Structure formats: C-alpha cells, structure tokens
Structure 1
Amino acid sequence: MTDLLIRNAHIIDPATNLGTQEAAPRDLLIRAGRIAAIEAPGVLPKAGEELDATGLILAPGLIDVHVHLREPGQTYKETIATGTRAAAAGGFTTVVAMPNTIPANDTVDKLHWMLSPERNAVVHLLAMPAATLGSLGEALSDYEALAKAGAVGFTDDGKPVLEDHVMRAALVAAARLGLPISQHAEDTRLTGGCSMNHGPVAFRLGLRGMTIEAESNIVERDIQLLRDIEKSDKLRPHLHVQHVSTGKAIQAIREAKQQGLHVTCEAAPHHFTLTDEALDTREKGGVAFNTNAKMNPPLRSELDRLAVIEALLDGTVDCIATDHAPHAAHEKEVEFERAPNGITGLETALGLALRILHRDHGLSLARILALMSTNPAQIIHLKDRGNLTIGSHADLILFSPTAEWTYSAQASLSKSKNSPFDGTPMLGQIHATLSEGRIVHRT
C-alpha cells in the first residue's frame, strides 16, 4: 500500500483533544493502513499519494453501534455490501450489525459467516449476536464462545429481553466477559397493536399509541437489576440502552449515571430531529399516514425531542446511533399499521447532527465527533479506532462542516429508500471516507 499524505487539514480528534481548541492546519501521514505521523504543514516529506484537504475537517471515522444490514435472509432490502457502501457515504468506518437476521445471528458459525471477507463489507464490520437463542427471550446464547469469535456485545434488538430472570442472567454473563448488553427498551406487554406514539397525533389519526412508560418501565427495571447484581454478585455489568426516545427514560438513565452505575445510551437522529407530527403530512400536500416516518421506538412529542437534545448536550446520552433499518418500497406502501418499523439512516446522520445539534443548539464539532466516533468506540472497547493516535487504524473522514446540501432518498447507496428525510436540507458535506487508509467513498 502506497503512503498517503493528507495535507493542510483542520484535524479534530476528541480522544486526544487535538484541534478542539484551535484550527491550525496539519498534515497526516498514512502508512500500511495506519496513522504514521501528524505534523505541521511542510514537516513531513512527500508521499506516493497526496490529498489536499485545505478548508476541510479531518476526523476519526464515524462508528455506528446499531445498524440492520438484513443479511442473511432479507437481501432484497439490504446486503452487507450495499449497507456498508451507504455507511461509507455517510462517513461511517465501523458499523455494528444487529442480530435480527433470518436466521438470527446467535452462534459462532453464523457470526463467522457474517464477518467473513466474502460478505464484501467496504468498512469495518462488527456484530452484536443475539442475547438469547433465536432472540426468543429464553435461553442465553453462548456468550463466551461468541466473545472469542469477535462479538462486541449482545442484544435481542427488535424486541427486548423481557423476563427479569433472563435479563439478569444476560447482564451477569456479559459482565464476566466485560461486554455490554444492548437493550431495546420496550415493554411489549404495553405496546401490542400500537404503531405510533400515544398522544394528540395518534388520537387525530385514530391509531393506538405507545405510552412513554413502555420505554421507561424497561429502563427502570434494568437499572434496578444493575444495582442488585453489583450488590449480590460483586460484578459491574454494562447496560447499553438503545435509541432512547423519552424524557422519562432519559431521567432514569441520568440518575443511574449519577449513582455510578455502568449505563450508557444512544440517541437516533430521527428522535432529535422529528416528532410524531411527521406521520401526518397532509398540510404539506402529503398523506395522513407517512409510513416512512414509522419506526420503533416511535417518533415522540416535541417535549421528548427536546429532552433527547438536552441529554445530548449535557452528556447523559453517550453516542448517536442510526438504527439504520432498510425496507423495500412494497413493504412500506401499505396500510400504516401493516407497514414495518424502521428507516434508513446511515447517509443522513452527520448532516442532521450538524444541522440540529451544532448549528441550532451550539454543540461543538468536537462534541459531535465524540458522540459519533470516540464514545461509541469506548462503548464497544475499540482501542485503535475512533481516535487519531499514532499507530491507530487510518479510519478517517474529510468533510466540510458548513456545506449545505439536500438529501435525496433515490440517490442513496442503500438498497432501500425508506427515509422521512427525502428533500431535507443537511449541513456538512462528506468529501472522503477512508477505511484503514483506503479511500472507500469520495465526492
């Protein structure tokens, strides 16, 4: 591999605070897929390949701890190859695949198959296998064997680990391996037949709504399990709460963190950008039941959206994750209650974060990059990704933080186009994404 020298970039690395206080240009040298040197302009000798980054931000590649790549079993929606190409277009250099494939990723053989080079991933692919066999919420998967095979955590995402004794056993087993349990916080005993948020919009549309307690009940239950395990088992389990969407659940997480419990959580861009009003687009000449804005957890009220933003600003939320969930057009173009939950998100996450959190709410570029690279790397224990230290993998993004553009779902590199953000203005244009020193996306 030829050496690559990136010249005159404003380098921001939240992990080391490089460039977080000043914007002096620097050069970065990549050798054999890793970061070899960072120096002031003109210090490093010429390289076999050079890239002028004048006026651009150079930062660690983004890391998404929550994506659905649909392979195996539903490759008409997405494949690992198409999903990771979309990831690269969005600036992501590491993605963590969820296990709700067909069949569920719950054994070493299935994990090896998913992570095989034959899947043609263009960025670094990791996986969280199923917390329970078949994601049925009963017997645990073989955590020890899966951890040795490369698992970075365990989850039954798409549904919760509902039974108390099973969740307790999962937290204990994962704690012994130093890995997180990533929980889809939904009390399904309260949500059967519900397809959106409980509130005035659901009433207006005549739909049953999910209450905020369906999320907060599971979060509060799991936090209590952490307390019990720390006291009785002398372990420190790690609970990661997925796509937190309500102020009540956020407050429970905030208090648990203040008490020293090992809780982390993620927020999805749609939950800090949209509300349940996005389901009813009639005033904009659209339809009453916008299935491309249907997901689980659902879009919530404006108060909950602002609570998610506040939690991102004050550090309660640890990372931004997309919950990228592609579906074919024919699956979404049905009656609202029959349409599957989920939207694509890999190509819009940075643009929404910069527009909503940076421009509208004043969150610094360094903090946004921490939420999307450094922090998720720490959650899944990646030592040489999510930072720009010498010797780390050269997983990088080059972007203009001020460039404005408009998202087109039809131009997406994902196999599916189910996004509520079609035609939405974005802030921050990706110029190049590098995975282990290779340019895997360039505009």
Structure 2
Amino acid sequence: MLTITNIKRPGRDQLESVTTENGVIKGWNLPAEGEVLDGQGGTVAPALIELHAHLREPGQTEKEDLASGLAAAAAGGYGTVVSMPNTSPVVDEPATVRALIEQAEGLGLARLRPAAALTRGQKGEQLAELAFLKDAGAAMFTDDGRTNENARVLRLGLEYARSLGMVISVHAEDAGLRADGVMNEGPVSEELGLPGNPWAAEAARVARDLELVALTGARLHVQHLSTARALDLVREAKARGLPVTCEVCPHHLTLTEEALRSFDALYKVAPPLRTQADADHLLGGLLDGTVDCLATDHAPHTRAEKERDLLDAPFGIAYIELAFPLMWTRFGERLGLEKLLDLMTAAPARVMGWPAPSLEAGAPADLVVLDLGTEREVNPAEFKSKAKFSPWAGERLKGWPLLTVVGGKVAFRRGD
C-alpha cells in the first residue's frame, strides 16, 4: 500500500492525497496507509505512455539496456514503454518477446510492451509469425529502423494484423528518394555540401501506405512525422474515414535543420530535422487534433558513435527523460496542460486500443507527480540513460517528474 500526500489533480488548486493498494488506486483523501510519500505540491497525472523507444536489447547493450532504458523512462514520467524490435537479433521470435517482458518485470521500473518485427529479420520479404508474436505479448508490429519497400508484403501484413486486431506502425520514408541523405534537403544542405533527404521521401511513402490502408481497412500508425506535406496527407486520409493515426516527436518540434550547421552528429536523426515551417505545421497538427500523440523515438548511441563524422555517425537522439519538461516549457502555454497530458497518456492508449488511463478509484496505479513550476538545468551527467549527452544540455526546463509510480510501486523518485 502506498499513499502520496500534498498533490494536486489537474485543474484543481487544493492539496489532496491518493492511496493505492494491490496495484490500483484505492481512493482519494483517505487516512494515510502503508508507505507515505510527500508529493511536494506537485500535479498528479496518469503515468505517461511511450509508443516509440529504442531500448537496444537484445544485442546492443553498449548503447542502452532494459535497466537503463526503463529507468530513464520512469525518470521521464513514463509508466509504459513500447520498445522497437530493430535489435541484434531482431525481435521476431515469440520466445524473445516473452524473455524481454519477463526481464523487464523483474526490474520494478517502467512497464515494457515490446513491439515485434512485421517481417522476418526486418528484411521486408516474409511476414513474421504474427499470431504467435501477439500471443507472446507483442504490443504492435513494425519494421521501424527500416522502411517497408515491398508494398505487397506490407499489404499482406496489414490484412493479417487486421484479423488479429493489431496495429502496424511504419517508418515512412522512400528508401530510394532518401538515398544517403543525412539532413533535410534544401538550401541549408546545399550550402553545407551535405547529402539531403527530401520532404518527398516521407510524403511519397505516406501516400502509398495510406492507399494500402484504404485497400485493406487495417489500422496503420505513422511514426515520427516530420514534414508539412505528410501531415496534410494524413489529415486528408482521416477526412476520408481511414483508420490511420500518427505521432510527432518533440525533437521535430523544437529543433530544425539549422542545427546541422554545427556539423554535429548529435542532430542527425531519421527522418531528419526539417524547416521551421515544417515544425510550425506539426505544432498546428497537435493543436487541431490531426496528430494523435507524442512519442520520443528515444534512440541512444554511444558517445563515440555520435562523435563520428556526420556522414558516418548513426541516426538518433536519446531524450525520454526530457520529453515532458521540453514540451511543457516550450509549448505549455499554447497546448495547455490538459491537452499535453492527453497527447502523452490517453492519446497513445487510444492509438493502441488500450483502456484510457485514469485517476479514478479502481484504475491502475500508474501515476506521475510533476513539478510544473520549478526550472531545472538539463544535466546529461544525471541521465539514467547510457546516452549522457543532449542537444538541450544546459537549457533550463520546468515540468520535471518528481515521482513515478507503476502498478502501485515507486519506479522513480527525484533525488534518489
């Protein structure tokens, strides 16, 4: 049993307490029982849900492992994390899914819901054993990290996933158009002499995949949208009634191609950082509801890898610990607390078809207490992630999680 005192529910000014028992919320403002923790006047919300994180197990533990990745997620206020399957080996076997879930359950950190590969080895040639992967606990199917070049294979996957009641998520970039691009194609890439990745690479693949949704009626989730045109295509598809959802990442909202003038591979991501006009358009999609949810695409690498030449360094930024503070500091006034929390809690649950998270008695005791007012400096040395470097190092952010509870147990407490 756990009681958290001195907390406020969103939209309320009075301080309250919440008691949890056996993994669920027992009630509000009851006599304190069990372990009692001071919420320090913070705002309580359902723990955040992450649909797109790279935790690097199995086989890439020099970058991240389940312990460091799920600890980082809990420090970021996340109670549930969907991990991507582009590991070594690829997560395309039921036994691997079960092993990851079992290992994560023993850590007492954020809850793991592994995604499984759509195709064997993520080669895009032959579907994985989707039914068995679902039975093993796979949360969704995706070949994230690679694009699905063969439209017929993706069609078959969508049809099969529909019969299973599952979601397929896609990394939507045309590999031929993307080629060896390391940043957004445009005047800045031309000025810097760097190979570019055009907006059309994303838009063309989104357009194709949306036609496959129209053909199959299956649910499709488009990952990390980065361009205005691709977002408009999703908006048009939704107007047609197609069962498509999409996510946007905070780095595509807060950073632009201008950062690549530093030639620092810290800013090398896939899809790349785009123009300010694209970022503004994506924010508009959050405001008007076209964008379904926020996701981080947390992608840790070693410092040595990210210090390579820009042409050779791997793609990815790791910042699951910063996502809420970054969004709250930059966009809290425009989005509002209720909208931002929805984008990071109930909205990801809707994408997946999961029960809506709640603060009501009887709901799962997955909670985060947020300090919405105090600014703290981003200090990568304090990260739980193994990737202890950040584009936002030294920036002062507010909205830091003070406490994260998963299944009624403390997964993170600031200062521990």
| TM-score of the superposed pair, with normalisation by structure 2 | 0.96
CA-CA distance at 1:7 after TM superposition: 2.7
CA positional deviation for 1:317: 0.8
Secondary structure of 2:398's counterpart equals strand
Flag structure 2 segments of 5+ consecutive residues without an equivalent: none
Is 1:412 matched up with 2:383?
yes
1:137 Cα deviation from its structure 2 partner: 0.5
Once residues 142 and 68 of structure 1 are traced to their aligned partners in structure 2, the CA distance between those partners, rounded to angstroms, is 22
CA contact (8 A) 2:95 2:136 kept: no
How does 1:163-202 map onto structure 2 within 5 Å? 163-202=150-189
The answer on whether the counterparts of 2:101 and 2:112 sit within 8 Å (CA) in structure 1 is: yes
Distance 1:29 1:330 in 2: 45
| Other-structure match for 1:294 | 268
1:29 aligned counterpart, secondary structure: strand
1:178-201 Cα distance to aligned partner (Å, 9 max, x none) = 111100011001111111101122
2:216 to 203, 225, 229: 229
Quote the Cα distance in structure 1 between the aligned partners of 2:226 and 2:17: 40
* More displaced stretch, 308-317 vs 388-397: 388-397
Greater displacement, 121-130 / 339-348: 121-130
Q: CA deviation at 1:389?
A: 3.2
Quote the Cα distance in structure 2 between the aligned partners of 1:121 and 1:224: 42
Over residues 44-74 of structure 1, what are the superposed CA-to-partner deviations in whole Å (9 max), with x where a residue is unaligned? 2231232333531000001100000111111
1:24 Cα offset (Å) = 4.2
CA contact (8 A) 1:327 1:417 kept: no
**Partner SS, residue 439 of structure 1:** strand
- Partner amino acid, structure 2, of 1:10: K
Cα 1:328–1:421, aligned 2, differ >3 Å: closer, same or farther?
same
CA distance in 2, matches of 1:249, 1:27: 44
Instruction: Trace 1:72-91 onto structure 2 (pairs within 5 A).
Output: 72-91=58-77
Match of 1:31, as an amino acid?
E
CA shift at 1:159, angstroms? 1.2
Which of the residues 120, 123, 127 maps onto 2:107? 120
- Given the alignment of the two structures, is residue 267 of structure 1 paired with residue 264 of structure 2, yes or no? no
Q: Does 1:401 align with 2:372?
A: yes
Amino acid at match of 1:175: R
Q: 2:193 and 2:398 mapped to 1: Cα distance?
A: 36
How far residue 143 of structure 1 moved from its aligned partner, in angstroms, is: 1.1
Are 1:246 and 2:246 matched, yes or no?
no
TM-score by length of 1: 0.90
Work out whether residues 171 and 238 of structure 1, in 8 Å CA contact, stay in contact via their aligned partners in 2.
yes
Q: CA deviation digits over 1:63-120, x for unaligned, max 9?
A: 1000001111111111000001111111111101100000000010111121113673
Q: CA deviation at 1:294?
A: 0.6
Instruction: Tell me what 2:3 maps to.
Output: 5
Q: CA RMSD in A?
A: 1.5
Shift of 1:392: 2.3
Distance 1:11 1:162 in 2: 46
User: Is this contact kept in 1: 2:109–2:412, CA < 8 A?
Assistant: no
Counterpart residue number, 1:441: 412
Runs of 4+ in 1 over 6 A off after TM superposition: none
Residue range with higher mean Cα deviation, 428-437 or 59-68: 428-437
What is the CA–CA distance in structure 2 between the aligned matches of 1:140 and 1:174, rounded to whole Å?
Answer: 11
Does structure 2 retain, via aligned residues, the 8 Å contact 1:4–1:47? yes
SS in 1 for 2:142: coil
2:178 aligned counterpart, secondary structure: coil
- State how far apart, in whole Å, the 2-side matches of 1:121 and 1:248 are: 42
Question: Distance between the aligned counterparts of 1:387 and 1:192, measured in 2?
Answer: 44
Q: Secondary structure at the match of 2:175?
A: coil
Contact between 1:81 and 1:121, CA under 8 Å: does it hold in 2? no
Q: Which amino acid is the alignment partner of residue 300 of structure 1?
A: R
Matches within 5 A, 1:18-57: 19=11, 22-38=12-28, 41=29, 44-53=30-39, 55-57=41-43
Q: Secondary structure at the match of 1:147?
A: helix
Which deviates the most, 3-12 or 152-161? 3-12
Q: Distance in 2 between matches of 1:398 and 1:46?
A: 17
Residues 381 and 389, structure 2, Cα contact 8 Å, conserved in 1: no
Cα distance in 1 between the residues matched to 2:389 and 2:184: 19
1:215 paired with 2:206, answer no
Which one-letter code corresponds to 1:32 in the other structure? N
Listed as ranges, the gaps of 5+ residues in structure 1 are 13-18, 231-236, 281-287
